[in-house]
Amino acid sequence: MKSPKSLRIKPEDVTTVKGLDKLIYKAEEEGVELAWHRFMKQQPQCGFGLLGICCRNCAMGPCRINPFGGEPSRGVCGATADTIVARNLIRMIAAGAAAHSDHARDILYVFRDVVWGRNKAYKITDPEKLKWVAGKLGVKVVGRNIMEIGRDVAAILEKEFGKQDEEPLALVKALAPKKRLAVWMKAGICPRNIDREIVEIMHRTHMGVDADPVSLIAQGARAALADGWSGSMMATLLSDIMFGTPKPVKAVANLGVLKEDYVNIIVHGHNPLLSMKIVEAAMSKEMQELARKYGAKGVNVAGMCCTGNEVLMRLGVPIAGSMLMQELAIVTGAVEAVVADYQCIMPALVTVAQCYHTKLITTEKKAKIPGALHIEFDPARADECAREIVRIAIENYQNRVPEKVFIPKEKVELVAGFSVEAILAALGGTLKPLADALRSGVIKGVVGIVGCNNPKVKHTYGHVELTKELIKRDILVVGTGCWAIAAALHGLLTPKAASMAGPGLRRLCSKLGIPPALHMGSCVDCSRMLLLLGMLADELGVDISDLPVAGSAPEWMSEKAVSIGTYFVASGVLVHLGVVPPVLGSEKVTKILTEDLESIVGARFYVETDPKKAAEYIAEYIEEKRRKLGWPA
Amino acid sequence: MAPATRAQYIIYIDYERCTGCRSCEIACAVAHSATKSIYTAPREKPRPKPRIRVFRVGELNVPMRCLHCANAPCVRVCPTGAMHYTEEGFVVVDEVKCIGCGLCTLVCPIGHPYVDPETGKAVKCTFCYKRIREGRLPACVEACPVDALIFGKTSEVLEEVRARKASVLAQAYLLGRDILPSPA
């Protein structure tokens, strides 16, 4: 028998977010298991898995390689650790790219129905953005009806998923800097078709196909680029077109945004097609009145994870928390419904919800969880579906158990909404002020921080320490996803936070009225950072790989993060990882990722679990870039 | 000389449970490495060596480690006294005194210890005595995902094992009693 490890966690060991300690104790008192408990039960995790040297790709296996030398040194088919690690890695990229791009596809289908007049539930909210995209794609704009323009754009974007030729993706050709395109052409990694690149990963990693780690990683990079510059890019562009391009907006974060006398609905997952409609329905007069009939003061919607970021960026909807807080939200006992679509939704939510009156409502046929209430969300009947879901939540209010309710009072103010357009507006219409600030050394560089939460890292500690250390060094921080939520939870997304920044960054922030860390959106909105980098590189007449910039995923866990990290590296940006990726089982693959890639795409990965050390390294890397540009250190 | 306290601890191996995943081998090597991390141990020089090894024998997976004999031939044969008993009765090699003669290899009934070519010293299972003194489990036991390796005081572990076996016998008895026709 293993010694009975006391299955209690010390909140201060697992998170640095204020207010969560009482909820963690509450969960334990009420017998609710959290991700941290399950993480403890998984220890020690499989060494073969951690090193990436387990292969389950065929039935001759499962095979593993002995990391200490000796036998077995090859899989049954003869695959070495190099092959196995590379194959496993690019399958992670495939899954991540698929998640982002399929999310884009869902939005594209609705956009297509809107511009063909088949869907009246959604509309074109930002026609200027649509015209901008059209212009970039070579679609005639002058003197044409917006729907006509939209139809031509939809036709081009459809083909991003299915065109059968060797030409680069249309969005890649239209939006990536020419210098980058040249690098990708030379390296043979220019993406041709979103679905095809993912399929090709699956083919290459099948037993007995590609065994060359360089060749495998190249395909991984190609699929990741298809995600970043086309799949995710498309999701962001079309969401802006249909829901509005984000502008700076004030909001609040942390579980204190839940309201005791209101029906609380949490929107969770990723796609704004659902969350925007839930918010719309919940805020409608009809539903607010219905809530009052059931004894509540009204309906309150809060967001979780990236769909939370989507409604935060566009509507200022409060954000309850990030990925690792999803169970704790239910533990408050004050949530009538968690309305989820896809990605990052823990199946554990069903079990947690069963301990309270909370209903977990799944809405996507692609994302079902046994035990949840499944109400399929049909974009063609978006408003009715949304109303039905909100009604179910409101009716559930009477089932709330008052003795089980505890909402921590902690909540923090933040500013979000920094689309590229918003940043340009803050800068006065061009990137020149930013370029000048960089050139003169008022700010030394820009770092994009992204990614998830992971129990392997103390929750939000990695994100926040890194951010603080970077802004201290006059490095502007931008970012998305659960980084943004982490930064928000620690008050870093307010102009006041500039007091924690170095003198140069502080000056820039007070001049422009911005926080030292800019929330640029959801995970697919990492594409906003790609655009910003491309524009900055063009403004300065250099390639992205020459810029004093870097990226980081201090607490990553998802396969989407692997795709994102890879497309940033392939786009010329150093990417720091705060969680060790499963590649150390192959020295060769580790070297390719952390060294050799630099000579091919101008950037590489850098792994460091200590955020303070990572900040130092990144700062030095940025100094080096500045030196090469002839800029003052 | 046999120790005063001996065989008071056991790692009971349940061969029916072992899935052959070999996580115990990895954990053992990491526990005996300098850096103690799965990420860095494989690159160390000298290479960390696992002291437990899982063999496939017919249908069973058989983890093999030192039996920490109460009257260990390797201790008796060691010419320098490097091979000795700890106060708990574990058989452990003192690397300073070890001359790598390999006599322990020859006399061991199960072929456990061997001289590491990289260091010239005998390598053997230490029962993770340092971890035990800190109140921790031996690395292999901690790593086993299916509880095929059970650590504890011999008497306590055996109580549990006997109880399990008793229930197996009881089931067999009841099965026999119900199938056979009752006497007329």
Mean pLDDT of A386-398: 98
Q: Which of A625, A429, A472 is nearest to A543 (CA)?
A: A625
Given a contact cutoff of 8 angstroms between Cβ atoms, the answer to whether A180 and A534 are in contact is: yes
Is residue A177 exposed (0-12), middle (13-18) or buried (19+ Cβ within 10 Å)? buried
Residue-level pLDDT at A71? 87
Name the DSSP letter for residue B15: T
Ranges A413-417, A601-605, B52-56: which has the least confidence: B52-56
Nearest CA in chain B to A587: B43
| Beta-carbon count within 10 A of A7 CB | 12
Q: Which of B70, B83, B77, B94 is nearest to B5 (CA)?
A: B70
Residue-level pLDDT at B170? 92
Instruction: Say if A69 is an interface residue toward chain B (CB within 8 Å).
Output: yes
Mean pLDDT of A466-479: 98
Given a contact cutoff of 8 angstroms between Cβ atoms, the answer to whether B18 and B63 are in contact is: yes
Just give the CATH number of B9-149.
3.30.70.20
- The one-letter amino acid at B30: V
Indicate the SS3 state at residue A82.
Answer: helix
**Cβ neighbours of A6 in B, within 8 Å:** none
Residue-level pLDDT at A1? 33
> CATH class for domain A88-243?
mainly alpha
CB-based contact B41 A68, cutoff 8 Å: yes
**Do A255-404 and A418-629 have matching folds?**
yes
**C-alpha torsion sign, points A158, A161, A166, A172:** positive
**What are the CA-CA distances from residue A151 to residues A137, A283, A382 (Å)?**
12, 31, 21
Residue B184 above 70 pLDDT? no
CB-based contact B22 A64, cutoff 8 Å: yes
Residue-level pLDDT at A460? 97
Domain boundaries, given as residue ranges, for chain A:
88-243, 255-404, 418-629
Q: What is the mean pLDDT of chain A?
A: 97
Per-residue pLDDT tens digits for A149-200: 999 999 999 999 999 999 999 999 999 999 999 999 999 999 999 999 999 9
Per-residue pLDDT tens digits for A320-346: 999 999 999 999 999 999 999 999 999
Quote the longest CA-to-CA distance of chain B.
76
Residue B1 above 80 pLDDT? no
CA A435/CA A391 separation, integer angstroms: 50
Residue-level pLDDT at B182? 64
Beta-bridged to residue A445, according to DSSP, are: A475
Please give the helix or strand (H or E) that residue B62 lies within, else none. strand B60-64
Mean pLDDT of A112-140: 98
Distance from chain centroid for Cα A533? 17
CB-based contact A580 B29, cutoff 8 Å: no
Per-residue pLDDT tens digits for A235-272: 999 999 999 999 999 999 999 999 999 999 999 999 99
Distance from chain centroid for Cα B96? 23
Provide the strand spans (E) within A506-630. 517-521, 549-553, 575-577, 605-607
- The one-letter amino acid at A604: R
Residue-level pLDDT at A129? 98
**Cβ neighbours of B41 in A, within 8 Å:** 68
CA angle A15, A19, A24 (to 5 degrees): 65
CA B182/CA A598 separation, integer angstroms: 82
CA A584/CA A564 separation, integer angstroms: 20
Rounded to two decimals, the ipTM of the complex is: 0.73
Residue-level pLDDT at A5? 45
Of A58-72, A487-501, B56-70, highest mean pLDDT:
A487-501
CB-based contact A48 B137, cutoff 8 Å: no
**Record: fold of A418-629:** Rossmann fold (3.40.50)
CA A252/CA A317 separation, integer angstroms: 8
Mean pLDDT of B59-80: 96
**Torsion-angle region of A490 (φ positive above 0: left; ψ -120 to 50: alpha; else: beta):** alpha
**Record: fold of A255-404:** Rossmann fold (3.40.50)
CB-based contact A68 B50, cutoff 8 Å: yes
Residue-level pLDDT at A3? 34
Note the pTM of the prediction, 2 decimals: 0.92
CB-based contact B27 A44, cutoff 8 Å: yes
Instruction: Say if A64 is an interface residue toward chain B (CB within 8 Å).
Output: yes
Per-residue pLDDT tens digits for B95-151: 999 999 999 999 999 999 999 999 999 999 999 999 999 999 999 999 998 889 999
Residue-level pLDDT at A633? 85
Per-residue pLDDT tens digits for A499-523: 999 999 999 999 999 999 999 999 9
Nearest CA in chain A to B26: A47
Per-residue pLDDT tens digits for A41-53: 888 888 999 999 9
Facing B137 at nearest CB: one of A2, A47, A64? A2
Work out the percent of chain A whose per-residue pLDDT is above 90: 97
Given a contact cutoff of 8 angstroms between Cβ atoms, the answer to whether A379 and A122 are in contact is: yes
Residue A2 above 70 pLDDT? no
